[in-house]
Every structure is written in structure tokens, then in C-alpha cells.
């Protein structure tokens, strides 16, 4: 089996994000809403989208993966708006926030089912060693630039 370092790292981030959102939903169910987990998950998700749109997608786009990337960018906008909706409910209606967070998890699951088998393996196959190493470094260290928003909501 061939190593897929980018796929593995990016999928791991998907799981960590989902776990943070799920932890918030569980905390609301338990009657003790804990916003820290979902806010951290949203920070990670926004950074993840940034890394994809600014660093992963451009070389794949020039490599001919246009249609799937257009879908991913459009869905990033839907995800971004869903995060904003959940965040807007956290302080006023935790139960509604948890319901909206559950809807967000469904959107993420659908998105990830397309992205993980198509986009990520393409990156592992077609990015050069230098680009792959640079992206792995960004995954480990990069932060979302102040004020950055995804392409679909600009």
C-alpha cells in the first residue's frame, strides 16, 4: 500500500473537526453547553478550508482537476455560512445551535465523501515532493490569516 501523507493528514483534520462539533452537541444534550469544543472546531475548520483553497487547490487546478474543485469551493461557502449560523445561536439558544450543528455535520459528511476519495489522493499522486512537504508543514503550523474568508462568500 502506498503512503498517502496528505490524504492521511487532511482526513485526520476532518475527524478532529467532527469530534469537536459532536462534543458540543453532546454537552448540550447533557444540559451543560460547552462552547469551547465547537469554537475550536470552527477555528480548525476555517483554517482547513483556507489551506485547501489557498495552498492545495491551486496546483491541482492547474493539473486539470477543475470540476471537482469548483464543487468543493461552492460547498465551502455552504459550510462557512452554516458555521456562522451555529455561532450566532451559541449564546442565545444552545439547543437550536446543537440542531444546526447536527445539520452542519451532515453537510460535512457529504462534502468529505466527495473530497476524500477524489481530491486528496490526487494531491498525493500529483504534487511534487517539495510541494507536498510544504503543504504538510502548513498543515502542522499554519494559522488562518486575519479576516480571511472562503472564496464562495467573498
- Exposed (0-12), middle (13-18) or buried (19+): which is 146, by Cβ within 10 Å? exposed
What's the length of the chain? 154
Q: Return the residue matching grid coordinates 469544543.
A: 37
Averaged pLDDT of the chain: 95
- CA atoms within 13 A of residue 36's CA, in its CB half-sphere: 2
Give CATH for domain 5-145.
Answer: 1.20.120.520
Q: Any residues with CB less than 8 A from the CB of 24 and at least 6 apart, and which?
A: 33, 34, 35, 37, 38, 41, 97, 98, 101
Q: What is the pTM of this model?
A: 0.96
Pick from 3, 46, 42, 47: nearest CA to 21: 42
Q: What is the pLDDT of residues 25-66, one digit of tens each?
A: 999 999 999 999 999 999 999 999 999 999 999 999 988 899
Domain boundaries, the chain: 5-145
Amino acid at each position: 500500500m502506498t503512503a498517502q501523507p496528505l490524504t492521511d493528514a487532511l482526513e485526520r483534520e476532518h475527524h478532529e473537526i467532527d469530534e469537536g462539533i459532536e462534543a458540543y452537541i453532546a454537552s448540550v444534550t447533557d444540559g451543560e453547553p460547552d462552547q469551547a469544543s465547537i469554537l475550536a472546531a470552527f477555528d480548525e475548520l476555517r483554517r482547513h478550508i483556507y489551506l485547501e483553497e489557498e495552498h492545495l487547490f491551486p496546483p491541482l487546478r492547474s493539473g486539470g482537476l477543475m470540476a471537482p474543485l469548483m464543487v468543493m469551493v461552492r460547498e465551502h461557502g455552504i459550510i462557512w455560512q452554516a458555521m456562522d449560523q451555529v455561532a450566532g445561536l451559541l449564546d442565545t439558544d444552545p439547543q437550536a445551535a446543537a440542531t444546526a450543528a447536527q445539520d452542519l455535520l451532515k453537510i460535512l459528511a457529504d462534502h468529505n465523501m466527495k473530497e476524500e476519495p477524489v481530491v486528496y489522493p490526487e494531491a498525493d499522486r500529483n504534487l511534487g515532493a517539495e510541494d507536498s512537504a510544504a503543504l504538510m508543514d502548513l498543515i502542522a503550523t499554519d494559522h488562518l490569516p486575519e479576516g480571511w474568508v472562503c472564496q464562495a462568500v467573498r
